[in-house]
Amino acid sequence: MKLRLILILSATLATLAAAPAVHSDTLLSGHAGWVFGGDLDDNTRGTYGGALTFMGGGAFGFEIEGAYTPSFFGDSDVAFADNNVSSLMANVLIGSGIGSQGRIFLSVGGGLLKTQVADVDEFFEIDNTDFGASAGLGAIGYFSDHVGIRGDIKYYRNFGDDAGEDFDFEFGDFGFWRGTGGLVFKF
């Protein structure tokens, strides 16, 4: 059942990414920042990633965004030999321009959250991929016609999946916040 849903989501994302945008800006951005709150302890963790965004002349846009957070569940020299969280999300953006050189937006989407954990002695390993959702706010400001900066703050949450039952869209028990910023290039 999970494989079929992953294939459907992948086909949908590929179709939307390949569709030409009518009179839109294509944005390529890299970002770095921190994950915090939710299932983290009192510390923050560094994260990095990027996004490919299509923004129309109106209020709507679409993006595919991915991020990687090493040592999400703790420092590798303390409890775990290797652990990380990766996300790949497709988001709808709803926004408004700020003059001619900026935009604020609301981001809502869904995709995949992958967690990997292995202990120091390699006694156990967790390698889990779940469907998840994200929602947040962001802003883009341009220095010139093609270069600017972008900042986002988003909340990520997985969907629960009870064994033996059909997939339903109830939220699971894994979630966190992520704040990032970085350069954006407009084409």
Residues 105-122 have pLDDT tens digits of: 999 999 999 988 876 566
User: What is the reported pTM?
Assistant: 0.78
Counting residues of the chain whose pLDDT is more than 90, the rounded percentage is 47
Give 168's pLDDT tier (boundaries 50, 70, 90).
low
| Residue type present at position 139 | A
Are the C-beta atoms of residues 34 and 46 closer than 8 Å to each other?
A: yes
pLDDT at 58 (0 to 100): 80
**Considering the domain 33-186 in this protein, what is its CATH number?**
2.40.160.20
Measure the CA–CA gap between 110 and 17, rounded to whole angstroms: 15
Counting residues of the chain whose pLDDT is more than 70, the rounded percentage is 72
Q: Is the pLDDT of residue 86 over 90?
A: yes
For the four alpha carbons of 12, 10, 47 and 41, in that order, the dihedral sign comes to positive
Q: Is the pLDDT of residue 36 over 50?
A: yes
